[in-house]
Amino acid sequence: MRNIFNFLILVLISNNILADDLSATITNASFGSTDGSIVLNIDGGVEPFTCSWTGPDGFVSTEQNISDLTPGEYCVVVNDFYCGIADLCVTVEEKDPEVSIQNIYTDNIQVYPNPFAKQLYISMITAESNEYIFQFSDMSGKEIYSKSYLLHAGENNLMISISEAFPSGNLLLKVTDADDKIITKQIIHIKLDN
């Protein structure tokens, strides 16, 4: 009888969940989104398990796998049937933003001359016809010029005449497509003395 009791104690102790019995598969959140997720893998212990998650901005959950997550650190405490306890903290990161326009072959966009004085030429190849917004701003982000153009699939050549109101110095040209995808080019405007 004593051997059976010792065996049961050994089984209970060896079946408890331990910290190294937990692992997680993380899907990082898209830029500016809440689409991250964590799949918790429990490789030890005895079912049923209870999970207690905490995370950023007061996040709590009792699910084993969690989703719709913002970037940040998420910690879980897992209890098994025999009161074994394990914990794990993981971080959901934010993916880098998309900074290129899918409909423009970014290798085939040219802005010239650079620096420029009165006229700026933009040559680019687009995969499909679409409306694009061309916006100029100074380096502080103040918008100086904005106009939309309908570009056709294939090669497009634009000439933009610049008014005297444009400041001299570094400017940012931002091209935005209908899906709000953006490509930027830094350009330099110089004023010529009349």
Q: For residue range 126-182, what is the model confidence (pLDDT) as tens digits?
A: 888 889 999 988 888 888 889 999 999 889 999 998 877 778 889 888 888 888 888
Q: Where in the sequence of the chain do the CATH 2.60.40.1930 domains occur?
A: 104-189
Average pLDDT, the chain: 83
Residue range 2-16: mean pLDDT, rounded: 47
**Furthest-apart CA pair in the chain: how many Å?**
108
In CATH, 104-189 is 3.40.50.720: no
In CATH, 2-92 is 2.60.40: yes
Tell me the C-alpha distance between 70 and 28, whole Å. Answer: 9
Q: What angle do CA 129, 120, 106 make, to 5 degrees?
A: 45
Short-list 94, 120, 99, 92, CA closest to 187: 120
Q: Which two tokens stand for residue 166?
A: 């444009």
Q: What does R_g of the chain's alpha carbons equal in angstroms?
A: 29
Residue range 37-62: mean pLDDT, rounded: 94
Residue with tokens 């959950």: 61
pTM over 0.85: no
Tell me the C-alpha distance between 112 and 115, whole Å. Answer: 8
Residue range 26-47: mean pLDDT, rounded: 90
**134 by DSSP, 3-state: which?**
strand
Q: List Cβ neighbours of 79 (8 Å cut-off, separation of 6 or more).
A: 17, 49, 50, 85
Among 9-18, 25-34, 60-69, 101-110, which is the least confidently predicted range? Answer: 9-18
Residue range 117-124: mean pLDDT, rounded: 91
Tell me the C-alpha distance between 96 and 32, whole Å. Answer: 9
Q: What are the backbone dihedrals phi and psi of residue 56, each rounded to the nearest 5 degrees, phi first? A: -65, 155
Tell me the C-alpha distance between 97 and 114, whole Å. Answer: 27
* Residue 12's pLDDT band (cuts 50, 70, 90): very low
C-beta atoms surrounding 2 within 10 Å: 6
**pLDDT computed for residue 191 by the predictor:** 82
* Residue 32's pLDDT band (cuts 50, 70, 90): confident
Short-list 90, 113, 115, CA closest to 27: 90
SS3 content of the chain, % helix, strand, coil (to 5): 10, 55, 35
Residue range 35-51: mean pLDDT, rounded: 92
